[in-house]
Every structure is written in C-alpha cells, then in structure tokens.
Chain A
Amino acid sequence: MRESTLWFWHIIAGAVILVLLGLHMTVMHLDDIIGLYADTTAWETVIARSQQGFFMVTYILLLGAALYHGLYGFRSILFELSLGKGCQKAINWLFLIGGLLLFIYGAYVAIAVYSMKEVVL
C-alpha cells in the first residue's frame, strides 16, 4: 500500500480514537467528576458495560483503530532512523502479524464476554 494511503488512515484512526478514547477516559477516569459509577473497575460494573452491545462494538472499533494508529506511528518513528531495506521489511511483517493477533485476541475477548449470559451480576 502507498505510504500516503497508510498516513491517511493513520489520521482517520486518530479521529476515531479521539471520540472513542475520549469516551473511555471520561467513563473510566473522570467518573467521580461526572458521578457515573461508584467503582469503575468493580466486576459488576465491568460486566454490565461489557454485556451492552454499544460497548462491545465500540471496544472492537477502538481496539482496531488504536492498534493501527499506534503501530503505524511507532513504525514511522523506526523507519525515520534510516534502517536497511531488510530491517524495514521485517518490521512491516512483525507489526502486521503482531497487530492482527492482538486484534483477534482483543475482539475475541470483547465478543466472548458479551455473550457470557451465565454471568450473575
């Protein structure tokens, strides 16, 4: 893929993260200010969120956007260091496969916990 296309998606992913991570940080870390939860990381609260379709879908969206944005950004930093062609190729494959594996694992967790109907709150 052309570098300019990858860069374009890096910015689009940044915009997606801005909205979704903004929401995530507000829910998780400004909760006392907005008076949302008594304890954001308590099992009951976590499961109540994870079993809502909205959170499941946005978790996966955020996961994909953040992995792409982060790994592409880190790749840019590394590529700026005048690496050899072989080294660049290795980084491309490592980041692509590593990113995909992390995405599959994270998406699997989000879907599996969403469908864990036997959980008693």
Chain B
Amino acid sequence: MAETAKHYKNRLGLWGWLGGGRYGLERYAYALHRITGMGILLYFVLHIFVTGSRLGGRESWTKWMGGFESGIFEVGEYLVFIAVAYHALNGIRLALTELGLLMGKPTRPLFPYRSAVLKQRPVLILVMVLAAVLIIAGGLDFFLLGAE
C-alpha cells in the first residue's frame, strides 16, 4: 500500500455493506457481489481438492463423486451456479464502469442534476435480467433435464 495514501477508519465495518445510509440499488448489488465472491472462493478451494481426487484413479474419483450424490449437495451446487451467474454478470458491469464506459461524459453540475449512477442503472437491470435467464436455464439443467 502506498505510504502517501491516507486511510480512514472503517467505522461501519461489515454493517456498511447493507446499512448506514440511504443506499441505492448498486450498494446492494455490491454487497451481494462480495457475499457471492466469498461463497465462490470457499467452494473453489474445496473444488481444487475434490477434483484432485481423479489423480487416485477411477476408484478414488467415483468414491468422492458418490459422496456428493444426495439432494442437499445438488442444491448446494445449484447455489454456487446462481452465485457464479450473478457474480459474473455483475462483474461485467463493474469492469465496464471501472473503465468509465457506462458513466456518460462529464458535464457541468447544472440543475436538474443527472447522477452518473443513474446512467449505468439500465445496465444493472439488463445484467440482472440476463443473470435471471441463466439461473432459470441452470435450474432446468440441474433439476428437470437429464438424470444427473
């Protein structure tokens, strides 16, 4: 961290993710992005070890996979799918705003003010609709189609 950077104490801590002000839709998208990110990271670390079991050959692999056949694991896996769909699509929006692509051109602050947050909001809604489509498609694949 640069020595010149000034740091302020994060007074709200984790509570600041959800409460502490009149937050817009994007703040909740931010909180959910972090929650899903941590969930995916936890799954991913376990996934590295579980998929590593294929090193032990067919027996080791089928033994591990057999352990994950019950319904609760399938629901858990679907939750990870939902988290990935949300995190990926919201992440596209975040990367685009980071590059300044969805914020509009800078203008003088003349009344009526138009916030840059509102300029990117249609994209937030668009990516959420796309996430919903993916989540529904995933649900079909997980629970209705095939016999996995």
Contact = CB atoms under 8 A, between A and B. Distances in A.
Interface of A: 2-3, 11, 14-15, 17-18, 21-22, 25, 29-33, 38-41, 43, 46-47, 50, 63, 66-67, 70-71, 73-74, 77, 80-82, 88, 102, 105-106, 109, 112-113, 119
Contacts of B37: 70, 73-74, 77
Nearest to B41: A70
Interface of B: 1-2, 5, 7, 9-10, 13-14, 34, 37-38, 40-41, 44-45, 48-49, 51-52, 54-55, 57-58, 61-62, 65, 81, 84-85, 88, 91-92, 95, 98, 137-138, 140-142, 145-146, 148
A29 B14 contact: no
Given A32-B146, A40-B148, A43-B62, A18 B91 contact: yes
Contacts of A41: 65, 148
Contacts of A66: 44
Nearest to A46: B54
B10 A82 contact: yes
Main DSSP-derived SS at the A contact region? helix
A82 B40 CA distance: 24
Contacts of B142: 29
Main DSSP-derived SS at the B contact region? helix
Nearest to A83: B10
Given A3-B2, A46-B61, A106-B48, A33 B141 contact: yes
Contacts of A105: 48-49, 52
Given A29-B81, A50-B54, A113-B54, A102 B45 contact: yes
16 contacts: A3-B2, A18-B88, A18-B92, A21-B84, A25-B84, A29-B81, A29-B141, A29-B142, A32-B146, A33-B137, A33-B140, A41-B148, A66-B44, A73-B41, A77-B37, A77-B38
